[in-house]
Amino acid sequence: MPFKFHAKGRRHIPRQRHRVTNWRDYDAALRNRGSLTIWLTPEAIVGWRAQPRTTRGGQRHYSDLAIETALTLRAVFRLALRQSEGLIGSIMKMLEIDLPVPDHTTLSRRACGLSVCQPARMGTGELHLIVDSTGLKLRGAGEWLSEKHGTIKRRAWRKLHVGIDADTGEIVTFDLTDKDVDDASHVPALLDKLPLAAASFMGDGAYDREATCDAVLDRNPFARIIVPPCKGAVPGPTATIAPSQRDLHIHAIDARGRINWQKTSGYNKRSKVEVSIGRYKRVIGDALKSRHDDRRTTEVAIAVKSLNRMNELGSAKFVRAA
C-alpha cells in the first residue's frame, strides 16, 4: 500500500527521497560560506574610513560600509557585539592593515537606522513570488524553563514576512512587523519593495483575502494568484458570468479534490518559502539579538543579504531518487 495509517486513522504520506547532483560544487560553496575573504572584501577595506563631512558637527571615523561589514560578521558567525569587535581586531592584525576597529558601543549605535543596500535580483526573467511569515523570538525564558516552571513573563516576538523568487530561492522582499500584524494585510507593503511586478503570487490560506488579490492585480493585471480557498468557500456572485481566479480554484477543488488541485496549479512549490525560513533559522537563528526596533530591522536586513550571498555562492540541485 502506498499509504500507512496511524492509530488515530490519519493517512501517512511517505517522505520523498532526493539525490544531490552537483555535490562537488555545493561542497565548495558550503566551505566558502565560512571563509572570511567572502565577507571582508577589498572594497570593504578601501571604504572602511568615513568621508570627511563638509557641514558642522562631529566627524565619523567609520563608513556605513564598515559598520555593515562588522554587523555581517556578527550575523554570519553568531557573535555578540564585543566578540565581533575582537574578531575584526584580530583580522586587521593578521592582515597587517592599519585601520581603526569600531568598538561595540559604536556598532550598537550606528546599527540604528543603518541603510543596508540589497543587491540586484539574481534572476532575469519573470518574478514568481512566494510569500510566508514566521516568528522571531526577542528574549525571555527558554522552552525548557517555560515548560518546567511555566512562563513567568509574557513572551514577546516579532513577525518576519518574506517573499522569495520561486526560480532562484532568493529572498527578494521582506519586512519585520509586530506580531499582531495580519499576513494578508501586509502584502501591499511587500509588493511595494519589489523592483518589478510579480508575474505570479503564491501563499497559503492566510492570504485568501480580496484585498490580497486587489493588491497583486493592481500592480500586474495579468498576474496569476495561487492561494487555496478556505474550507467551505463558495464562488462569488459573478462566478457564472466572469469567474475570478479564486472562483476557478474553488470549482477545480470541488471537481477533482484539493490534492489534485495542488499538483495542477503548482501550489506544491510553496514549500520553497518554508525551506528559506528554515534556512534563516538554522544559519542566523530563531531570535533577534537587538533590543530596539530600528536595530532589529537592520539585523534582519543584514541577515537576508547574507543568506542571499550564500545562495549566490552555490546551492544544491536535487533530483528525486527512485
Residue with cell 511587500: 190
pLDDT at res. 320: 82
pLDDT at residue 220 is higher than 50: yes
Element (H, E) at 257: none
- Asked whether residue 132 falls in the same domain as residue 257, the answer is yes
Measured from the Cβ of residue 206, the count of other Cβ atoms closer than 10 Å reads 15
pLDDT at res. 2: 47
Secondary structure, 3-state, 158-218: EEEEEEEECCCCCEEEEEEEECCCCCHHHHHHHHHCCCCCCCEEECCHHHCCHHHHHHHHH
> Which residues have CB under 8 Å from 9's CB, separation 6+?
none
Residue 29 counted as domain residue: yes
Beta bridge partners of 287: 137
Q: What percent of the chain has pLDDT over 70?
A: 89
Residue 254 counted as domain residue: yes
Q: What percent of the chain has pLDDT over 90?
A: 47
- Asked whether residue 137 falls in the same domain as residue 274, the answer is yes
- Asked whether residue 159 falls in the same domain as residue 275, the answer is yes
Query: What is the number of structural domains in the chain?
Result: 2
> Which residues have CB under 8 Å from 164's CB, separation 6+?
129, 130, 131, 170, 171, 172, 272, 273, 276
List, in sequence order, every beta strand (DSSP E) within the chain: 4-5, 11-12, 18-20, 128-137, 157-165, 171-178, 200-202, 224-226, 318-320
**Average of per-residue pLDDT across 165-172:** 92
Q: How confident is the model at residue 94 (pLDDT cuts 50, 70, 90)?
A: confident
3-state secondary structure of 48: coil
Tell me the pLDDT tens digit for each residue of 52-91: 777 776 777 888 999 999 999 999 999 999 999 999 999 8
- Asked whether residue 133 falls in the same domain as residue 281, the answer is yes
Which three three-digit cell numbers place residue 7?
492509530
- Asked whether residue 106 falls in the same domain as residue 174, the answer is no
pLDDT at residue 129 is higher than 60: yes
- Asked whether residue 95 falls in the same domain as residue 167, the answer is no
Backbone angles phi, psi at 314, to 5 degrees: 150, 140
Q: How confident is the model at residue 174 (pLDDT cuts 50, 70, 90)?
A: very high
**Average of per-residue pLDDT across 308-320:** 86
pLDDT at res. 41: 82
Q: How confident is the model at residue 291 (pLDDT cuts 50, 70, 90)?
A: confident
- Asked whether residue 143 falls in the same domain as residue 283, the answer is yes
CA pair distance 77, 118, nearest whole angstrom: 20
- Asked whether residue 101 falls in the same domain as residue 133, the answer is no
Per the structure, the complete domain to which residue 227 belongs is given by 128-288
**Average of per-residue pLDDT across 262-281:** 92
Residue 306 counted as domain residue: no
Measured from the Cβ of residue 76, the count of other Cβ atoms closer than 10 Å reads 21
Tell me the pLDDT tens digit for each residue of 236-269: 888 788 888 988 999 999 998 889 999 999 999 9
Among candidates 3, 254, 220, 259, which has minimal Cα distance to 128? Answer: 220
**Average of per-residue pLDDT across 19-25:** 88
- Asked whether residue 234 falls in the same domain as residue 186, the answer is yes
pLDDT at res. 17: 84
By CB atoms closer than 10 A (0-12, 13-18, 19+), residue 12 is exposed
3-state secondary structure of 12: strand
Q: How long, in residues, is the chain?
A: 322
pLDDT at residue 146 is higher than 70: no
Measured from the Cβ of residue 31, the count of other Cβ atoms closer than 10 Å reads 10
Write the CA distances from 199 to 91, 229, 263, integer angstroms.
45, 20, 19
pLDDT at res. 1: 44
Measured from the Cβ of residue 319, the count of other Cβ atoms closer than 10 Å reads 9
User: pTM of the full predicted structure?
Assistant: 0.86
CA pair distance 248, 267, nearest whole angstrom: 14
Which three three-digit cell numbers place residue 290?
537587538
Among candidates 269, 271, 121, 277, which has minimal Cα distance to 200? Answer: 269
- Asked whether residue 186 falls in the same domain as residue 70, the answer is no
